[in-house]
A and B are shown apart, each in its own frame.
Chain A
Amino acid sequence: MSLGRKLLVGLPVLVLLALVAVSFVYLGRGGSSVAPSALIGQSAPQFDLAGYDAEHPGLSDVDLRQGSVTLVNVFGSWCVPCIAELPQLRALAEEHGVTIHAIAWKDKPEKMAQVFAEHGNPFRRIGMDNDGRAAIAWGISGVPETFVVAGDGTVLYRHLGDIRPEHIPVLLSVIAEAQKQ
């Protein structure tokens, strides 16, 4: 076999190896199958939701333009990771003074009450998204998702999935950055 021929035969193998290497690197990163939110840098979408109870009134985009940084957490009492992140949300609200609002995606108040009784309720306002329309406006692909919204209503950051203790520093730095603006 000539050298050229050898190279030619070896080429598909090399291409395959290159593909494997690229896939290996990208798959290892995790979460890369989900595109970044299209909303980053834009103002929060228009929405207006009824409240959960007297202490947790409804949520609309106007509430996100009150001059201070807010977190918007898309929540479901039937969603296990949403419950798992409640302690982290409480830490953000209670220890760091972050205002967190919730969009309850297709949820029942009685089910939510059970979860809050057991795990606490870190939310200032809770909007009941009964028909899932606000979730579509926010481009939600699953719960939980958490958005950092600047005081003028600009969406700055999205966290996909549950917030674990190791995510807190990143969120706090995004919030701190947002407060400077």
Chain B
Amino acid sequence: MRRLALFLGLLLWPAVALAAFDAETLPDPRQEEMARAIMTEVRCLVCQGESIAESNADYAADLRRLVRERVAAGDSPENVKAYLVSRYGDWVLLKPPVKPETYVLWAAPALFLGLGLLLVWRIFRRRSPKEGA
């Protein structure tokens, strides 16, 4: 039981840490929600594997402040992201945009899954008659 509690506690830890980051949030809860949604899509450039919503690096805090300011000023999420892309390139978005340079990237999971399925299908098709005999 105690182990379970510890396990759940550890699972929830990131959420607790996340909530603790910013003292200043936007007064309008709808705008704050919009700003937070944008933050989860923007890469923290000094930590690279994290979004700015997850990082407590100084730099991520600066970017969060910028996102909140822009949202408060009435920018749409697309505008905010477009501004960041104009500064940092597509790389700043955790989810790479679909465009000719990234077709291979986006197609790769389906491609590999297809290859795997083909392999499995061929192996099983050969085995099953033997088992029946």
List chain A positions with a Cβ less than 8 A from chain B. Answer: 5, 8, 11-12, 33-39, 45, 106, 131-133, 135-142
Among A5, A11, A38, contact of B87 (Cβ-Cβ < 8 Å): A38
Q: Is the interface of A mostly helix, strand, loop or mixed?
A: loop
- Return B107 CB to nearest CB of chain A, in Å: 15
In the complex, the answer to whether B87 meets A35 with C-beta atoms within 8 Å is no
CA of A138 to CA of B89, assembled, Å? 11
**Known contacts A106-B58, A131-B62, A132-B62; A12/B119 CB under 8 A:** yes
In the complex, the answer to whether B89 meets A38 with C-beta atoms within 8 Å is yes
For the A-B complex with A39-B87, A45-B87 known, give 4 more contacts whose Cβ atoms are closer than 8 Å: A38-B89, A133-B66, A138-B87, A140-B45
- Return A151 CB to nearest CB of chain B, in Å: 23
In the complex, the answer to whether B119 meets A142 with C-beta atoms within 8 Å is no
**B59 lies within 8 A of chain A by Cβ:** yes
- Collect the chain B residues with CB atoms within 8 Å of residue A45's CB: 87
**Known contacts A12-B119, A38-B89, A136-B66; A33/B48 CB under 8 A:** yes
- Collect the chain B residues with CB atoms within 8 Å of residue A135's CB: 59, 62
Q: Is the interface of B mostly helix, strand, loop or mixed?
A: helix
- Return A6 CB to nearest CB of chain B, in Å: 13
- Collect the chain A residues with CB atoms within 8 Å of residue B7's CB: none
**B99 lies within 8 A of chain A by Cβ:** no
CA of A35 to CA of B88, assembled, Å? 8
- Nearest residue, chain B, Cβ from A141: B45
Among B58, B66, B88, B122, contact of A139 (Cβ-Cβ < 8 Å): B88
In the complex, the answer to whether B89 meets A136 with C-beta atoms within 8 Å is no
**Known contacts A12-B119, A141-B46; A132/B59 CB under 8 A:** yes
CA of A141 to CA of B90, assembled, Å? 14
- Collect the chain B residues with CB atoms within 8 Å of residue A138's CB: 87
Among B66, B89, B90, B126, contact of A37 (Cβ-Cβ < 8 Å): B89
In the complex, the answer to whether A142 meets B46 with C-beta atoms within 8 Å is yes
In the complex, the answer to whether A8 meets B122 with C-beta atoms within 8 Å is yes
CA of A8 to CA of B122, assembled, Å? 9
Looking at A5, A11, A131, A132, which has the most chain B CB atoms within 10 Å of its CB? Answer: A132
Among A33, A35, A142, contact of B89 (Cβ-Cβ < 8 Å): A35
CA of A33 to CA of B46, assembled, Å? 12
**B91 lies within 8 A of chain A by Cβ:** yes
**B128 lies within 8 A of chain A by Cβ:** no
- Nearest residue, chain A, Cβ from B90: A35
Among A12, A36, A39, A142, contact of B45 (Cβ-Cβ < 8 Å): A142
